[in-house]
Amino acid sequence: MFAVILLPQFRLQAALRLRAELCAQPVAIVDERSDKGVVLEGNEVAESSGVTTGMPSAQALARCENLTLLPRAIGQERVAQAALLEVACSLSPEVEATADGCCTIDLRMAKISDWPAWGAAVVERFAALELRARIGVGSNADLAFLAARRAAPVLVVQTPTVFLSQLAVTEIDPPPHLLALLRDWGVHTLGQLTSLPRGELASRLGPDADRLWKRAMGRTHRLLRLVRPVEEFVETFEFEQEIETTEPIFFILRRFLDQLARRLTGVHRVAAAMRLTLLLENRTTHERLFTIPAPTVDAEVLFRILRTHLDGLQLKQRPTGVWLQVDPARPDHQQLRLFESPLRDANRFGETLARLIALVGHGNVGVAEIADTHQPDRVRLAEPKFHELRAAAHTDAEENLAIGLPLRRYRPPLAAQVQVERHEPAYVVSDTAHGRVAGALGPYRISGGWWDRERWGTEEWDVEIAGNGLFRLSRQNEQWFIEGCYDAQLR
């Protein structure tokens, strides 16, 4: 027999799994990519108000005034799908990930006598994960799938012909052109479809129709596209009692890494990331993800990364256990050209970064990228991509124009007081430069971001302050700053 586990209204279930407060209200998931925001799935409350799948969101709102429209929760869908496969793989090694929220299990080798009881137990397991499941059992995969669609929550098909004849044609997902034609013909159920002469049908509508007819008869036997259980490289250890120093953790982590390195080598993989979780005495955890700059199986290198982090770590709770997961990756076989190296020692660089993170905090370290905007000095912090770290040639037209004296920028700019005469800066007072303005060029105005709360606007002047040198001043919201000084020596 085959079994299909179906998580009905998968997208809706995924989106509402952590938002129980919405379950009693009318809720629908909309496809934000479509022009009219078509409804993908709606809960029972929404459906009872006339909201149906495929309906434009405007019409859905017309029918159900207090309808909550949610976009797809892609992340939650992944979690739910992973849970589905995890359970399925524990039931049989032969599992197909048929679709999102649906998997098919080949149970022909299993010795199960009471299928309804077996199904009910599986449903229970999903209930514990806060997921609703339907189980269909049939003599082939397609039949089991159809059974799962009709299950409440478990359906075992004993007599396929009787079961199938009552089903709507739409249940076997015919190609749209065939479905339209069959509707035109008044063929709505599988029974009506199979009553048509097979040969005549195939000669008229082609092989697609023939396949459909066979499916309607429950006669298809297809091979499952099996998925292997996810390879997990995890090691875990619980201490007998709370530990006071980091030494026991270092000891056990080193053993973990030796074991994991061996396992990775055995399957020709390298470690691309490590996920360290420390279980703490108050049942909370400390978690940290380490991206390996140059993926490796060198246990020593991996250990140094962990050690750098743990050396600077101060926890308010004592650890009671440690859990380490390694994300495997294929080794990078790219050969660089002679004398070419993306980074001299990527892992050492990674280590340095880890030290910096320990100092300034997570989220405050990255690679600065110049943003595409007129706003000067506007950068964003990007995740370091070690294999792309090369000196990129800068070919910006705007930059080419900036010929003249090099500017040494003060970051952040220095506050200043500026006296203005005849619309021009006349006297500057600041910690760095102080004095009468001997000459001024400007103003130069730039502004942007007017559409957001981050609206900005700057007026800049280049000034010569008597006895001090050349400076760039800026005025933002009536506040003056010295942006930098021009280096006359470097001209």
Binding site for other proteins (CB under 8 A): 30, 32-37, 50, 56-59, 61-63, 69, 181, 184-187, 195-197, 200, 203-205, 371-374, 397-398, 401-403, 423, 441-448, 450-453, 457, 460
Rounded to the nearest whole angstrom, what is the least distance from the CB of residue 373 to other proteins in the complex? 5
Please identify which residue in the block is written with the tokens 């050396």.
311
Q: Put the strands of the sheet holding 102-106 in their side by side order.
A: 95-99, 102-106, 2-6, 134-138, 154-156
Please identify which residue in the block is written with the tokens 């292997």.
228
Dihedral angle of Cα 142, 143, 144, 149, to the nearest 10 degrees: 90
- In the complex with other proteins, which residue's Cβ is closer, 196 or 276? 196
- From residue 20, give the alpha-carbon distance in Å to each of 51, 77, 316, 350: 20, 16, 33, 41
Are 325 and 234 within 8 A, CB to CB? yes
- In the complex with other proteins, which residue's Cβ is closer, 184 or 244? 184
- In the complex with other proteins, which residue's Cβ is closer, 112 or 370? 370
Please identify which residue in the block is written with the tokens 């650890």.
319
Phi/psi-derived region of residue 41, left when phi > 0, alpha when psi is between -120 and 50, beta in every other case: beta
Spacing of C-alpha 267 from chain mean position: 26
- In the complex with other proteins, which residue's Cβ is closer, 68 or 220? 68
Element housing 295 (H / E)? strand 285-296
Are 60 and 19 within 8 A, CB to CB? no
- In the complex with other proteins, which residue's Cβ is closer, 57 or 104? 57
Transcribe 84-121 into DSSP letters. HHHHHHHH-S-EEEEETTEEEEE-TT---S-HHHHHHH
- In the complex with other proteins, which residue's Cβ is closer, 352 or 447? 447
Rounded to the nearest whole angstrom, what is the least distance from the CB of residue 423 to other proteins in the complex? 8
- In the complex with other proteins, which residue's Cβ is closer, 221 or 380? 380
Alpha-helical (H) ranges within 196-321 are: 198-205, 207-217, 247-266, 299-311
Rounded to the nearest whole angstrom, what is the least distance from the CB of residue 71 to other proteins in the complex? 8
- In the complex with other proteins, which residue's Cβ is closer, 32 or 173? 32
CA atoms of 366 and 386, how far apart (whole Å): 11
Rounded to the nearest whole angstrom, what is the least distance from the CB of residue 171 to other proteins in the complex? 18
Q: Cβ contacts of residue 449 below 8 Å, gap of 6+? A: 373, 375, 455, 456
Tokens standing for 454? 């981050």
Rounded to the nearest whole angstrom, what is the least distance from the CB of residue 62 to other proteins in the complex? 3
Paired strand residues for 277: 287, 323
Phi/psi-derived region of residue 371, left when phi > 0, alpha when psi is between -120 and 50, beta in every other case: beta
Torsion sign, CA atoms 251, 256, 261, 262: positive
Rounded to the nearest whole angstrom, what is the least distance from the CB of residue 10 to other proteins in the complex? 21
Tokens standing for 264? 């990775």
Tokens standing for 165? 């004849």
Rounded to the nearest whole angstrom, what is the least distance from the CB of residue 284 to other proteins in the complex? 34
- In the complex with other proteins, which residue's Cβ is closer, 32 or 311? 32
- In the complex with other proteins, which residue's Cβ is closer, 289 or 381? 381
- In the complex with other proteins, which residue's Cβ is closer, 23 or 62? 62
Spatial CA neighbour of 79 closest among 167, 23, 16: 16
CA atoms of 161 and 322, how far apart (whole Å): 55
Tokens standing for 63? 């029918």
- In the complex with other proteins, which residue's Cβ is closer, 339 or 451? 451
Rounded to the nearest whole angstrom, what is the least distance from the CB of residue 480 to other proteins in the complex? 17
CA atoms of 471 and 461, how far apart (whole Å): 8
- In the complex with other proteins, which residue's Cβ is closer, 111 or 453? 453
Rounded to the nearest whole angstrom, what is the least distance from the CB of residue 220 to other proteins in the complex? 22
Rounded to the nearest whole angstrom, what is the least distance from the CB of residue 41 to other proteins in the complex? 15
Rounded to the nearest whole angstrom, what is the least distance from the CB of residue 67 to other proteins in the complex? 11
Rounded to the nearest whole angstrom, what is the least distance from the CB of residue 466 to other proteins in the complex? 23
Spatial CA neighbour of 312 closest among 349, 380, 359, 376: 359
Rounded to the nearest whole angstrom, what is the least distance from the CB of residue 426 to other proteins in the complex? 17
